[in-house]
Structure 1
Amino acid sequence: MKLGENAGWRLDRHVPVALVVTILIQTGAALLWSGAAAERLTTLELRSARTDEMVERTARLEEQSTAMRASLVRIEEKLDRTLKPLAP
């Protein structure tokens, strides 16, 4: 290589246009695919966050249900004690 020659990349006339077009199409397809994959990941992350929230809410509802059941048992026992003396 001579001192005055450009050492950078150059496009030779032997490279077919079809090859350049093919590479551009593949690059575009790869970008579209990666964008779609990123969108799917975002959707899954949002769904996972909602699932975690639902698990927490379900646990709270179960605790409230247990507390209400215990209160109901106490009320029934008090009613039974109150109504026993009235029975013939």
Structure 2
Amino acid sequence: MDNILLCLILGLIAGIVSGITGIGGGIIILPALIFLFGLSQHQAQGTTLALLVPRIDILAAWTYYKQGYVDFKIAGLLCLGFVLGGWLVPK
């Protein structure tokens, strides 16, 4: 129960600070996951990406799309190149 409450408080603080300052919430959440929850750097980064990317990016993209500011052709080509570039990097 303590971790659930701590996660909710951390998310609330990160959301408020992010909304007020315009910084990404990950700048607060990532160190907190490492120092408060004992996650490794990679676990904290993966957790933060899983938290932020789907919700924030989809909402932001939808907002820009509704205002006519999204070029799906360019976005698709950039996405394709981005995925292929990440896949080609030696592990």
TM > 0.5 fold call: no
Which structure has more RCO (C-alpha within 8 Å, separation ≥ 6)?
A: 2
Q: Higher helix proportion, which one?
A: 2
TM-score by length of 2: 0.27
TM-score by length of 1: 0.28
Structure number with bigger Rg: 1
